[in-house]
Chains A and B, each alone.
Chain A
Amino acid sequence: MFFDANCQVGLPMNGGAATATIPALLAEMDRNGVDRALVRHINIDPDGAVVTNEELAVMLANEDPAARLCGVWCILPEQCHELPPPDEFFAAMKRQRIGALTLSPGAHRWVPSRLCIGKLMDAAAERRVPVILPNYSSRWSDLYQFMADFPRNTCILANTGRWGADRAIRPLLEHYEHFHVELSTYWVPEGIKDLAELYGPERLLYGSGFPELNHGSTMLSIRHANIADAWSRLIAGGNLARLLEGAQLS
């Protein structure tokens, strides 16, 4: 079972050749044999968290009747009250098939610190709600600070960057037991085997990087990572399923 931890759906603000509708994603998943996917809205940065959270929920309800997709909602600083309080927010996530959180402080112009999101992140840690971190591969110092501020949260780094990020990610895997790495751009030769042996296969997650990237390249590298089949199954989908099932949204 492949469960994709890194997809984006929606119509990109500036167009582009890559079609990212939910039907296009489901067709790609079928073609490649991917069963389920965790999806973020592609316009989180330009269109903002409030609008895209709502739009993603509607898209999931209308375009994914078989419920193969699980959504990700974007958070904002608590003090502006743009999102409901944590209990209400998590209950809405559960109702609308949203399983994880993300944030985009650079695009949304805020500082990802305890000052801004401490209560929400503490509630997310308590409830074991995964947090997807997609925009940090060129800002490692920011990611290090984020993990220092929120060491109890279940975090998944998406998009490590293609150019061998071991020097950046290994210290995080070593120091933070709840830190995970999604593999769509982790293209290091035999690197999946190395990371699994060093930090455990439970810390690694299959992701496609749709719509920019295709599904198949990382699937084959996991399939032939030269590790035990049980480890491959965890990385392919077991880990993400476990993390999402472990979240207590209400």
Chain B
Amino acid sequence: MSRTQALWEQPGSVAEQFWRHGRADFPIYDMHGHMGAHNAIYFARCEAPAMDAHLARIGVRRLVFSHHSALMGSMRNAAVHRIVEGCSERLRMYVAINPHYPEFIKEDLALFDKWPFAIGLKMLSAYHQVAVTDRRYEYALKFASERHLPVLNHTWGGVPYCGGPQLLELSQRYPNVIFFHGHSIFGDWDWSRRCIVEAPGNCYLELTAVPGLRGIIERLVRDVGSERIIYGTDLPWFDEYQVTGGVISADIGDDDIKNILYRNVERVLGTDW
């Protein structure tokens, strides 16, 4: 009964590939994941084997995650790395940074070079209630700067710990750090733009919680270019098909979609990690 050919039926398109086969002929890099149970939400699939099975269905090559209990509880990063060591090739970890425990930060980062599956740092400043610009993050950020590591921040529009002004200041202060702005400064879309165009070329908007919102990906692509946007799901919070569906049904081109789903990450981090 549809009046025109739907986007899923466009021959040779990315949307057609996912619709017909459930995956594409290119990989997906999911740069924002978690693991483990959560206090407020029932997660049926929050441990490595079930997460891995979900990722495999849609063709995710890498999920980079931080463990809930390392961010919000007492689990140490060494224990998270041991989980990854016993898993499939798909999982990589961010070292969780809790600014309230500076001795843990130093101890864990001293082990970083011995952890082949750790590829960057994760900061959750709104939950820890310490602004990303606070000096308690300096040790970790200098460490990331020396190694040119990615740092995934939880960001949210209007939140004083991790809003646009704070992230822009941070990216200008540490030009050698690769900043992934988790949730793309959600809801404060003008600051999303400013955090990219006014930064020294070291920042990317990460999309978790954005796909599905009507018109927002289109706006971000117009404002900063798809070369500055990367894909994420918060898995086990959000379903890979829901998030991918939000990206590929946005009114953007297939090149934009490919930039978001894999090209940008491969350009920034390579493929050998």
Interface bits A204-219 vs B (CB < 8 Å: 1, else 0) = 0000011111111111
B241 contacts chain A at the CB level, 8 A cutoff: yes
A35 contacts chain B at the CB level, 8 A cutoff: yes
Interchain CB contact under 8 A, A188 and B239: yes
CA distance A225 to B1 in the complex (A): 23
Q: Which of B29-63 contact A (CB under 8 A)?
A: 38, 40-45, 51, 54, 57-58
CA distance A18 to B19 in the complex (A): 26
Output the nearest chain B residue to A167 by Cβ-Cβ distance: B42
Q: Which of B144-191 contact A (CB under 8 A)?
A: none
A85 contacts chain B at the CB level, 8 A cutoff: no
A164 contacts chain B at the CB level, 8 A cutoff: yes
Q: Interface size class for chain B?
A: 35 or more
B1: A residues at CB distance < 8 A? 1, 35-36, 68
Q: Which of A25-33, A43-51, A69-77, A145-153 contacts B (4 or more CB under 8 A)?
A: A25-33
Interchain CB contact under 8 A, B212 and A214: yes
Output the nearest chain B residue to A189 by Cβ-Cβ distance: B239
Interchain CB contact under 8 A, A32 and B7: yes
B38: A residues at CB distance < 8 A? 164
Q: Name the prevailing secondary structure of the B interface residues.
A: loop
A246 contacts chain B at the CB level, 8 A cutoff: no
A226 contacts chain B at the CB level, 8 A cutoff: yes
Interchain CB contact under 8 A, A189 and B54: yes
- A224 touches which of B43, B57, B238 (Cβ 8 Å): B57
CA distance A36 to B2 in the complex (A): 9
CB within 8 Å for A33 and B42 given contacts A220-B19, A221-B245, A224-B57: no
Q: Name the prevailing secondary structure of the A interface residues.
A: loop
Output the nearest chain A residue to B247 by Cβ-Cβ distance: A217
CB within 8 Å for A214 and B246 given contacts A187-B212, A220-B18, A224-B241: yes
Interchain CB contact under 8 A, B2 and A18: no
CA distance A31 to B38 in the complex (A): 37
Among A31, A36, A167, find the residue whose CB has the most chain B CB atoms closer than 10 A: A31
Interface bits A81-115 vs B (CB < 8 Å: 1, else 0) = 00000000000000000000000000000000000
- A218 touches which of B6, B58, B237, B245 (Cβ 8 Å): B245
Interchain CB contact under 8 A, B249 and A215: yes
CB within 8 Å for A187 and B237 given contacts A212-B214, A217-B212, A217-B246: yes
- A213 touches which of B214, B240, B248 (Cβ 8 Å): B214
CA distance A219 to B239 in the complex (A): 12
CA distance A225 to B240 in the complex (A): 10
Min C-beta distance of A5 to chain B, whole Å: 16
Interchain CB contact under 8 A, B211 and A217: yes
B239: A residues at CB distance < 8 A? 187-191, 221
CA distance A243 to B173 in the complex (A): 58
CA distance A26 to B4 in the complex (A): 11
Min C-beta distance of B79 to chain A, whole Å: 23
A17 contacts chain B at the CB level, 8 A cutoff: yes
Interface bits A1-31 vs B (CB < 8 Å: 1, else 0) = 1000000000000000110000000100111
A223: B residues at CB distance < 8 A? 19, 22, 241
5 contacts between A and B (CB under 8 A): A26-B3, A30-B6, A187-B238, A189-B44, A216-B245
Additional 15 contacts, C-beta under 8 A, given A164-B41, A166-B41, A216-B245: A1-B1, A26-B3, A30-B3, A32-B6, A36-B1, A189-B45, A189-B51, A189-B240, A190-B45, A214-B250, A217-B246, A218-B212, A221-B242, A223-B241, A224-B58
- A-B complex: 9 closest residue pairs judged by Cβ atoms: A216-B249, A33-B6, A220-B245, A164-B41, A217-B246, A217-B245, A217-B212, A221-B241, A221-B242
